[in-house]
Structure 1
Amino acid sequence: MSTPQPPMPQAAPTWQAAPGPSHPGYTSPIPVVTTHLGHAIASEWTKIKSVRSTMWTLGVFVLLVIGVGLGAAALVAANTDPGGLEGENPLSFGFFGLLLGSICVITLGVLTTASEYGTGMIRTTMVACPSRGRVLAAKAIVFFVVAFVVTLVSAVVVALADVALLDEARDPTGGEWLKGTVGVSLYIALLGLLSLIIGSIIRHSAGAITIMIGLLLAPLVIALFMFAQSLEGLREALFEYSIPNQLSVFYANSLSESGPSGWDPLWIALGVTAAAFAGAYALLEKRDV
């Protein structure tokens, strides 16, 4: 009877046979690039320009700003007696279109962030760019620039057309031109940026849009129904700091005799947006995606 032979030891796989690279001297043809904020901005720009909702929302915004602004000026010009517009600032009729159009900017701002959470695409975004703060900053920069440029172009078109339509009104000063075009465009862009940040905090499109529209309209509507004498102070504060009143300040046509004036609404919007951005950044670093 033969004695069983002990099993032969198996050779180690080739990739485990020796330490070090399998192909010494090999260099990958794919370049290794250190990512930075510019790459995140390019990514967010690709997203925002390739989504159909962006074009539709901005298209409706432009139609509202230009259509309502020109319609209001034409209606006033057709129904005002000669000399009735003397001393009137023709730029102020752009207020109505911008107030309605701000709802479109709010909606687009919320969708820029909240829609990714709704579809789950935010996970892919964070895998591609693990720096969460960089992602939020890139979204904010791209959206702010887009909102500002579109608003500025629309506001300038309305301003030029209204000045031509209301030829009996006085010529706006240089400061009024600056506030009625650049100033109001910065304010609308900041309002949209605040909406983007709220969308990042809430992570729900419908909820964030509801909050922002409430912030836009609720203070003024609530103040209209405050008849009690004891609530006079609160009523005045709601009037003065409501978004419609702050928007009208850029046309020197405030709904209240006191409150913000000059460039105050822009600084208020900037401070609120910066505080909200800091809060959104802190939450983004702590929460899961």
Structure 2
Amino acid sequence: MTTPYQATPYQAYASPIPVQSTGLGHALRSEWTKIRTVRSTMWTLGVMLVLVIGIGLLVASLVSSHTPTGTPVLAFGFFGVLLGSLPVITLGVLVISSEYSTGMIRTTLTACPSRSRVLAAKAIVFALIAFVLSTLACLIVAGADAGMITGSGIPSPSGSQWLRATVGAGLYVALLGLLALAVGAMLRHSAGAITAMLGVVLLPLLLALFMATQSLATVRTKLIEYSVPNAIATLYGIPMLSTGPQGWTPLWILAGVTAVALAGALFVINKRDV
């Protein structure tokens, strides 16, 4: 007589490797590993430091003996920061667009399906690196300016001027890089996003220079007032026009624009397949 078959109870496989739920901290460590191990980071940030510090010190040495009366001592760091922001913009685009061009974004989203977490981790890691390095470079230049540029009729920089020329300039450069990251996330194309950001930085002022007619005077004035070069110049106390945003206002304007762009990037990333 045959014995009826009896099924053994199913036992789930238990991995000996500890399993823990992932969070933002894991994404931050992943992005930190990525950004510090690629050559583009070293090149772009290295060029930024050379431009900000090198041009800042060069200009300070050239004008130290004949500085115009009434010119803020720290104002000459403007030239290096304006040019130094361009490599940071390039890196901001590459932080995310390079993953689309190589296909690495599929691996990233497989390891971390939460797209908002991926974008937040990239933005936080990049913004901290850009802010710390650009602020350090601005601080070196500001210290050199204060030591090299002296003379009668040249006022000593106030605490507010020091803060805007160092922390303010560093924040502005970091926000420009974050805006570039958001544009890169929306366009998913390195060359296109970098070109778009260069247009944002340079095109308004260039257009204003060609608007010589009186009928375009209002448009010309607004383009200059809200251009990126004028915003950086305002932080250094040398605005191109006496009208328009003053003090810290250009920084808050860029922060608002960047927040909107990041929200748009998050919306686009969540709507796309990859």
Alpha-carbon shift at residue 28 of structure 1 (Å): 2.8
The yes-or-no answer on 1:121 pairing with 2:104 is: yes
Could you list the structure 1 runs, at least 4 aligned residues long, displaced by more than 4 angstroms after superposition.
none
Residue 165 (structure 1) aligned to one of 123, 145, 148: 148
3-state secondary structure, aligned to 2:194: helix
The yes-or-no answer on 1:18 pairing with 2:3 is: no
2:248 alignment partner in structure 1: 263
Alpha-carbon shift at residue 167 of structure 1 (Å): 2.2
Residue 136 (structure 1) aligned to one of 111, 119, 137: 119
* Cα deviation digits, residues 201-248 of structure 1 (max 9, x gap): 000000000000111000000000001111111000000000000111
Alignment-mate amino acid for residue 21 of structure 1: Q
Aligned counterparts of 1:88 and 1:226: Cα–Cα separation in 2: 28
Q: 1:22 to 1:274 in 2, by over 3 A?
A: closer
Please say which structure displays the higher CA radius of gyration. 1
1:6 alignment partner in structure 2: none
3-state secondary structure, aligned to 1:201: helix
Alignment-mate amino acid for residue 154 of structure 1: A
2:51 alignment partner in structure 1: 64
3-state secondary structure, aligned to 2:97: helix
Alpha-carbon shift at residue 288 of structure 1 (Å): 1.3
2:238 alignment partner in structure 1: 253
* Cα deviation digits, residues 186-210 of structure 1 (max 9, x gap): 1110000000010000000000000
Question: Between Structure 1 and Structure 2, how many residues are aligned?
Answer: 268
1:233 alignment partner in structure 2: 218
3-state secondary structure, aligned to 1:18: coil
Superposition TM-score, scaled by structure 1 size: 0.90
* Cα deviation digits, residues 105-134 of structure 1 (max 9, x gap): 000000000000000000000000000010
Alignment-mate amino acid for residue 71 of structure 2: E
Aligned counterparts of 2:112 and 2:247: Cα–Cα separation in 1: 41
Alpha-carbon shift at residue 96 of structure 1 (Å): 0.1
Aligned counterparts of 1:211 and 1:185: Cα–Cα separation in 2: 22
Alpha-carbon shift at residue 17 of structure 1 (Å): 4.9
The yes-or-no answer on 1:38 pairing with 2:28 is: no
1:146 alignment partner in structure 2: 129
2:172 alignment partner in structure 1: 187
3-state secondary structure, aligned to 1:146: helix
* Cα deviation digits, residues 7-33 of structure 1 (max 9, x gap): xxxxx9xxx95341177xxx5321111
Task: Report 1:56-135 matches (<5 A).
Answer: 56-78=43-65, 80=66, 84-135=67-118
Alpha-carbon shift at residue 85 of structure 1 (Å): 4.4
* Cα deviation digits, residues 81-104 of structure 1 (max 9, x gap): xxx544321110000000001100
State percent identity of aligned pairs.
57
Aligned counterparts of 2:182 and 2:93: Cα–Cα separation in 1: 8
Aligned counterparts of 1:59 and 1:203: Cα–Cα separation in 2: 25
Aligned counterparts of 2:191 and 2:129: Cα–Cα separation in 1: 22
